[in-house]
Amino acid sequence: MLSNDGKLVEEVLEHIAEIGAGKCSITDAAIAAERDASVQQILAGLLMLHEDLQYAQQRQSALLDELRLAVRVRDEFLSVASHELRTPLTTLGLQIDGLSHTLPGLVSGPQTEKVARRLELTRRQIDRLAALVATLVDVSRITSGKLQLTKEHADLVDVVRTVADRLGDDAQRSGSSLSIDASGPVWGDFDVSRVDQVLTNLVANAIRYGRGQPIAIGVDGKNASARLCVQDHGIGIAPQHQGRIFQQFERAAPSTNYGGLGLGLWISAQLVDAMGGTISVRSEVDVGSTFTVELPRAS
């Protein structure tokens, strides 16, 4: 029973504290027994507040459960779909390669060149699709925490050469030259395929955003760390975008001129982080960009 104003305020505050902690000692019987109508109203209001809060909390936790389930279903779908897509794509690529090799025996005359060009175009589209599927596989591995590293003793200069050879044609098509700047071997324990992937992504971006200007890949090693730099002289990145481009789906270039998912740098940053390294960018609009990756040399 509440007697005077001071006591009423004190008791209301106690109830509020109790409600804040997720409990409430006000019962329907206590409200019915209260003789003061105003106090009765206050108690009923507090009880209702408690019930509303309880309901909102239950709803919130049910929604969170639903959200977690939806995210899990999405991740599972992404994982299964990307793995399933890889098999037919690989087969398709092998079929095209087989056709390209047997082509001279199948067709002759001016037709040969035409068919060869079409096969080459098809191969390139398959490679693009395969790269997109590989991106999906990586996103799925990273988000589900299933990324695994396999380190081996290797020379980073070899990795740089492999990537430069593989992307040489693409660079040439866009008008950019690709040069390697290395003063000697850079040995260390690296996950070669992951380093290859990061470098491939940086060089592919340099080609895409490099406006046909020369691209240089630098590689050098200090005592404990190795450094890879990819420098282009292309469109550059404004200071306000330089931090966010390493986040998922973030893009800075106008999508009307440049396609892309905005995932390459995010994947690269995640891989570099998993390898214990860092990735950074220095860039100026209309002057160009330099992406730098530092990696530890020992496991």
Footprint on this chain of ligand ADP (rule: CB under 6 A):
205-206, 209, 232, 234-237, 245, 251-253, 260-266, 289
Neighbour count for residue 162 (Cβ, 10 Å): 14
Nearer to ligand ADP, 190 or 291 (CB): 291
Query: Nearest distance from residue 213's CB to ligand ADP, in Å?
Result: 11
Q: Which is nearer to ligand ADP, 52 or 284 (CB)?
A: 284
Q: Over the range 20-40, which residues count as b (16 or more CB within 10 Å of their CB) and which as e?
A: eeeebebeeeebeebeeeebb
The 8-class DSSP code of residue 212 comes to: T
- Backbone region of residue 149 per phi and psi (left: phi > 0; alpha: psi in -120 to 50; beta: other values): beta
Q: Are 291 and 202 in contact (CB under 8 A)?
A: yes
Radius of gyration of the chain, Cα coordinates, nearest whole angstrom? 31
Burial 116-137 (b: 16+ CB within 10 A, else e): eeebeebbeebeeebeebbbbb
Shortest spacing between CB 222 and ligand ADP, in angstroms: 25
Measured from the CB atom, the residue of 54 and 174 that comes closer to ligand ADP is: 174
Residue among 46 and 252 whose Cβ is closer to ligand ADP = 252
* Residue placing its CB nearer to ligand ADP in the complex, 48 or 131: 131
Torsion angle in degrees (nearest 10) through CA of 278, 239, 202, 144: 60
Minimum distance, C-beta of residue 290 to ligand ADP, in the bound complex (Å) = 9
Tokens of 30: 């206590």
Taking the complex as a whole, how short is the minimal distance between the CB of residue 56 and ligand ADP, in angstroms? Answer: 39
Q: Which is nearer to ligand ADP, 172 or 299 (CB)?
A: 172
CA distance 234 to 168: 17
> Minimal distance in Å, beta carbon 62 to ligand ADP?
36
**Closer residue to ligand ADP (CB): 96 or 245:** 245
Q: What six digits make up the tokens of 243?
A: 């931090």
Q: Which residue is nearest to ligand ADP (CB)?
A: 260
Smallest separation, CB 236 to ligand ADP (Å): 6
Closest distance between ligand ADP and the C-beta of residue 267, in Å? Answer: 8
